[in-house]
A and B are shown apart, each in its own frame.
Chain A
Amino acid sequence: MKGLTACGDRLRQAHGLPALLDAACDAFEVILTVIGTYEDATSTGMAITFLLVATRAANARDAVLFAPSLPPRALHPRQAGQQPERGSAPDIRAAVADLSQLLASQLARTATTLAAGPDKAACHDAGRYARQIHDLLARSAP
């Protein structure tokens, strides 16, 4: 769960719009990676929930990707040879739910501070998708 935790830390520590967008973009990518690791090994029901989550994560990442204030290069390049996340499916589900809740709140809060424009729209859209991810995972909890 280290990757998800690290994403949460970066989001909390992000100062300024470019850093927040960069952290959010990476966070959604990490969610996609984590889900990709687990979806093959889980039940059909959970796999479909993961599918819905991943679609929203990809849409959210795309929303951030086209924000003008996103730095052209990642501020924290991926490190080669990173270990895949470890944990049970319920643990992963809970960790992704927490991260998506944080993403939703951070992005929504940032959106309120921005003037109307593509950055605001990106934060708003990505925050909305993050909220949907959280709701999906919360509803699928046993």
Chain B
Amino acid sequence: MTHRATFGDILHAAHQSLAHRRGEPPPTRGDVEEVSRSLLQVITILSRYAQDTATAFSDVPHHTPALLSPWGRGRAQAREALTHAAGFLLRPGTGRPVWPGPRSASPLARRLDEMAACLAAGRDLLHTHFAPGPHGGRAHRSEWALTITSERVNRALLAELGALAQPIAHYGANVALAPVPGTPPGADQRRALNAACQWLWVLAASIEAASRQEPVPAADRQLLAAIPVHALPARPALAAADTVPSLCDAVITTAERLRYLAWQSARQPPWAPALTATSLRQAAETSTLTSHHCALLAATLAEPTASGAFPGARADLDAAARAARTARGTWYQSARALRQITTDTRGHITPAAAEARDLAWWTGRLAYADPAWTLASGPRCAPRPPQHLAPQPDDVPQVVAAVHQATDALALLADTEYGQLHGAIQAGRIMVPTRTLTDDYDIPHPYAPAPEERTGALLARYRDATQASRQATAPIGRAAHATGAPSRVLTTAQEATQTVGPASPAGGLGDHDSNRGQDRAEDMTGPLQRTLLGLGVTSAALLARGASLDQASQQLLIDAADQLPPAHNRPHTTTLNKTAASASLFNHALASGHPQAAQLLRQPCQTQRAGPEPELEPEP
């Protein structure tokens, strides 16, 4: 594996910020002022994420759904909720945070600080795939940039924000409504903190409502989690690669390196001296070899002894072998056409061409039985038998992933090599040896600019290689899905960047991630039940009665929200939180995730924080 940090790693850490940890105080207590300050940091970053999904990449053409679509509405409501939540926490002097910020002492504030740091790091990770572009826009630094700006990944991201918002709201509201004896009452701050948490519940409910109408497929969440930091993975070490799994890892890492370097090469100007015929030939020659190795590997995997556990993948593996052979032929013809030309500089090898050679080397090591195989050994060695390539059914997905990654990297390389070649032709850098020209040419020089018929033929061969390499990714991508290979995110990424409008769940409705609310049971303890527990009541019957009364009161509030007349001048949010008891009831209704409950907070004309806030009345 490449061990590159992924967005999923950071997201997991963010989710874990509020989890119970052995030996640490639970995040249930905290100083209201500290928690408010820390929560504001979290909300600020959540707002930036939400903004990213809507406008930050406006220079990138992507399909933003109409406002009235479920996700368009959900996104707008989420942003609105975050604005209101932040509005309650912003106080004079909090707009410009000091750096470094004061260290939080209370448990919840510390955990929220952790979460803010994780979320900021995650956003930074996503932004590594972009660079400042011309005219103030953004330029893509990797093929992941298109994935990040895709609607499907944006929905997955919003779903994650919603999932994070729920526990934050739960713990934050607990602190707001449970003043610690002996500490200053801070009624305003507690009320504001609770109101901010209520808006976080609104955020979660808005996203959940969109998810219910157009579920986020689990594959899209996996794709979001798989987005790696934009960095060149370390070159695999030869010494460590002596088994099939380690060779697969080396192929995957080299494929990722090749994608990174190919993208970098594509950004070079056409006059870059490293673009030489030597380099182009090496890339074409070694891509022919890699395609050949992929064909061998796919054919070996398709044999019943290897793919017996995955009968559904056999046809796709056969097709993958055929497609790789076709790609091999087109790369071969490109290499052949390159013999007819040269460039005005020579000798240099681009990093991408060097990596393409490594990929041929590693795929060859995996494909052939000879453990000492090298490129110089050539193709006349015996292939690795299926029982050695994948002795156990569990071994098949990793080999499929290696072939898939290599094939995908070649598709990108073909694309970028074509672009570079095209630029070099435009810049007049492609030459021919004059002694290979017909007698019609009388040029007193060993080389001269290539005539159009040669450059045209060369570009045509590269177009074929690009098309065939891209087509080769389809059957191996299907095999990756059929075998559960980790590389299947590549196919999801490809689909995500091509999908217009709502994404279709890949595996039907059952495929969407329904795990988001699994920890909600704890949150759903109602105010009456909590009071009973606080009194030390353990009777199951009494607790059940309390729960059912809580549920009834929750439903009553939701129904009431549904029946508010449109023009009704609803009370201010802080008025709703006038007493801790009423705030508890509203919190319980909002925590239900019912979208209608948000109407309790929304007003026809939103003018939050207008006028002086009422004082918190003492509990009766």
Q: Are A55 and B285 in contact (CB under 8 A)?
A: yes
Tell which of A47, A59, A136 has the most Cβ of chain B within 10 Å: A59
With A44-B379, A136-B376 as known contacts, state yes or no: A32 contacts B292, CB within 8 Å: no
With A44-B292, A58-B338 as known contacts, state yes or no: A140 contacts B380, CB within 8 Å: yes
For window 57-104 of chain A, which residues contact chain B by CB distance below 8 Å? 57-59, 61-63, 65-66, 70-74, 77-78, 80
Can you list 18 A-B pairs, Cβ within 8 angstroms, ordered by A? A25-B433, A26-B435, A36-B339, A45-B378, A48-B288, A48-B289, A48-B378, A51-B336, A55-B281, A55-B285, A59-B278, A65-B342, A70-B446, A71-B446, A73-B444, A78-B435, A136-B376, A139-B377
Residues in B whose Cβ lies below 8 Å from that of A48: 288-289, 292, 378-379
Q: Are A52 and B292 in contact (CB under 8 A)?
A: no
**Nearest CB in chain A: distance from B368 CB, A:** 12
Which B residues are closer than 8 A to A by beta carbons? 277-278, 281-282, 285, 288-289, 292, 332, 335-336, 338-339, 342, 346-347, 375-380, 433-436, 439, 444-447
Bound Cα distance from A79 to B435, whole angstroms:
11
Q: A105 on the interface (CB 8 Å rule)?
A: no
Beyond known contacts A44-B379, A45-B379, A55-B285: 18 more, CB 8 A cutoff: A25-B433, A25-B435, A25-B446, A32-B339, A48-B289, A48-B378, A51-B285, A51-B288, A51-B332, A51-B335, A52-B285, A54-B339, A55-B339, A58-B281, A58-B342, A59-B346, A74-B434, A136-B376
Chain B, interface SS category:
helix
Q: Are B378 and A54 in contact (CB under 8 A)?
A: no
Please give me the residue from chain A that is nearest to B435 by CB atom.
A74
Residues in B whose Cβ lies below 8 Å from that of A65: 342, 433, 446-447
**Nearest CB in chain A: distance from B364 CB, A:** 11
Residues in A whose Cβ lies below 8 Å from that of B375: 52
Residues in B whose Cβ lies below 8 Å from that of A78: 435
Bound Cα distance from A69 to B598, whole angstroms:
84
For window 20-50 of chain A, which residues contact chain B by CB distance below 8 Å? 25-26, 29, 32, 36, 39, 44-45, 47-49
Residues in B whose Cβ lies below 8 Å from that of A57: 339
Q: Are B282 and A55 in contact (CB under 8 A)?
A: yes
Please give me the residue from chain B that is nearest to A80 by CB atom.
B439
Bound Cα distance from A48 to B282, whole angstroms:
13
**Nearest CB in chain B: distance from A53 CB, A:** 10
Residues in A whose Cβ lies below 8 Å from that of B447: 65-66
Q: Are A52 and B378 in contact (CB under 8 A)?
A: yes
Residues in B whose Cβ lies below 8 Å from that of A51: 285, 288, 332, 335-336
Q: Are A62 and B379 in contact (CB under 8 A)?
A: no
Please give me the residue from chain A that is nearest to B431 by CB atom.
A65
Q: A9 on the interface (CB 8 Å rule)?
A: no
Q: A119 on the interface (CB 8 Å rule)?
A: no
Could you give, for residues 105-142 of chain A, a 1 whenever the CB lies within 8 Å of some chain B CB and a 0 otherwise?
A: 00000000000000000000100000000011001100
Please give me the residue from chain A that is nearest to B281 by CB atom.
A55
Q: Which 6 A-B pairs have the closest CB atoms?
A: A58-B339, A74-B435, A45-B380, A48-B379, A62-B342, A45-B379
Bound Cα distance from A55 to B446, whole angstroms:
20
Tell which of A51, A63, A65, A140 has the most Cβ of chain B within 10 Å: A51
Bound Cα distance from A136 to B285, whole angstroms:
14
Please give me the residue from chain A that is nearest to B295 by CB atom.
A44
Bound Cα distance from A29 to B432, whole angstroms:
12
Please give me the residue from chain B that is nearest to A142 by CB atom.
B380
Q: Tell which of B338, B346, B379, B434 touches A63, judged by Cβ atoms closer than 8 Å.
A: B346
Q: Are A139 and B376 in contact (CB under 8 A)?
A: yes
**Nearest CB in chain A: distance from B380 CB, A:** 4
Bound Cα distance from A75 to B434, whole angstroms:
12
Q: Are A140 and B376 in contact (CB under 8 A)?
A: no
Residues in A whose Cβ lies below 8 Å from that of B444: 72-73
Residues in A whose Cβ lies below 8 Å from that of B379: 44-45, 48-49
Q: Are A61 and B376 in contact (CB under 8 A)?
A: no
Bound Cα distance from A77 to B379, whole angstroms:
37
Bound Cα distance from A125 to B347, whole angstroms:
9
Bound Cα distance from A36 to B339, whole angstroms:
10
**Nearest CB in chain A: distance from B373 CB, A:** 12
Q: Are A29 and B377 in contact (CB under 8 A)?
A: no
Please give me the residue from chain A that is nearest to B439 by CB atom.
A80
Q: Are A29 and B336 in contact (CB under 8 A)?
A: no
Q: Tell which of B292, B335, B342, B436 touches A55, judged by Cβ atoms closer than 8 Å.
A: B335
Q: Are A54 and B446 in contact (CB under 8 A)?
A: no
Please give me the residue from chain B that is nearest to A66 by CB atom.
B346
Q: Are B378 and A47 in contact (CB under 8 A)?
A: no
Residues in A whose Cβ lies below 8 Å from that of B336: 36, 39, 51, 54
